[in-house]
Every structure is written in C-alpha cells, then in structure tokens.
A and B are shown apart, each in its own frame.
Chain A
Amino acid sequence: EDQVTQSPEALRLQEGESSSLNCSYTVSGLRGLFWYRQDPGKGPEFLFTLYSAGEEKEKERLKATLTKKESFLHITAPKPEDSATYLCALAHTGGGSEKLVFGKGTKLTVNP
C-alpha cells in the first residue's frame, strides 16, 4: 500500500533561517510526487510535480528534490508569508485513473 510520511509535523523558523521539509514514501510505481501549499481555510495550492529520482524544481524561495525514497522541500531565507502547511502527495497509475495519496503535512511558521 502506498504510504507518505512527512516530517516534522510542525516547524518554526525565524525569518531568513533556511531549512528543509521531508517527505518519505513507499509506492509500487511512482507516477509523480507533488508538493502543495495549504493556507488556513483554503484548498491546497499546487507547487511542484517531480517525476523521477534526481529531478529538482525551484520556485522563488522553494526548491523540491526527489530521490527513490524521499523528497525534500528546501526553503531558503523564508519570509513570514511562507507560513502555511506544506503537503506532499504521490500518484501511481492504477485502474486507468489517478489518485493522490497525501501525507499529513508539515505546518511551517516563519516568525518576523
């Protein structure tokens, strides 16, 4: 069974203090690994899709990387507006359709 485990559950950073969020996974055949950002009272917002080990993607202060067992979301010099819950999810094809299996998220708080 597909599993996604995110750590830590919560992370507090000072503005400018870089860090990384971890997403470890087990899947029979990876179709894609996704990172989403969720703000309170809103739906998850798509950030990145990674398809194969060694792939990296960047967007502003965020960089996502992928290995065969885990993905990291690196946050460089974070700002208070980066505070949110970051969700990792994976997809594998099965039955002709796709479904995402989500981790429980990491709640990031960036203090000014």
Chain B
Amino acid sequence: DTAVSQTPKYLVTQMGNDKSIKCEQNLGHDTMYWYKQDSKKFLKIMFSYNNKELIINETVPNRFSPKSPDKAHLNLHINSLELGDSAVYFCASSQDDRWEGYTFGSGTRLTVV
C-alpha cells in the first residue's frame, strides 16, 4: 500500500538513449511533482502538475517531458540522455486544500554512462 511509488528504482543507460520513469500515487492528492537530487544531495523542483495540468516548469531542458494521463500518475520521459542527467529523481504529491507538505516516492537513481 505504498503511497507514492516510482519505477524503476535504478536505471543505467547509455548516452543518447531515451528513457521513462513512472510515478503513481494512491493518496488522492491533486498535485504531483518531479524533483531532481544531484550528487551534492540538493533537491530542486523540475515540474508540477495539478489535475493533469502543467503548473511549474523550472527551466528544465526540452529533452525532459512530463506526462500526466490522470491525476494519480505523472511520468517523466527523457530524450537523448546526457552524462549530466545522472541523478536521483523523486516524484512527490500533495493535497492543495490540506497544506501538509509533500509525500515523496523512494526515488529513481539514473546513471548515464
């Protein structure tokens, strides 16, 4: 009964490949997010979606494209992967009318070789 689940947990791929990370939440939250945690453990927002609508896009390269088929799912597709994309990507969700912060998934460690 995981609240926010991401797949895969680990992803190793070569430069230039295209990959996707999936995220699902069963909390009934309205908003979902993608955050990137770099090698220095700094968490930075990439995107947020509210009821399938893109709300925040924080100067992320066009190679990153989020897709939200419904409010319980937010996937991240990355084209033409680069070495600098190596990081841990966290999905999170929140309920707007009960501001209690985010619930995070366990992360996807992406390694580009």
Contact = CB atoms under 8 A, between A and B. Distances in A.
Interface in B23-77: 31, 33, 40-45, 48, 50, 55-56, 58
A87 B43 contact: yes
Interface string A94-112: 0111111110110000000
B101 A49 contact: yes
B106 interface: yes
A2 to B, nearest CB: 11
A54 interface: no
Interface residues of B, number: 27
A44 interface: yes
Contacts, number: 66
Interface string B78-100: 00000000000010101010011
Contact of B102 (A31, A38, A46, A104): A46
A2 B96 CA distance: 21
Interface in A10-42: 31-32, 34, 36, 38, 41-42
Contacts of B58: 99
A96 B44 CA distance: 19
Interface of A: 31-32, 34, 36, 38, 41-46, 49, 85, 87, 89, 91, 95-102, 104-105
Interface of B: 4, 31, 33, 40-45, 48, 50, 55-56, 58, 90, 92, 94, 96, 99-107
13 contacts: A34-B101, A38-B41, A41-B107, A43-B90, A43-B104, A44-B102, A49-B99, A85-B41, A99-B56, A99-B58, A100-B101, A101-B45, A105-B41
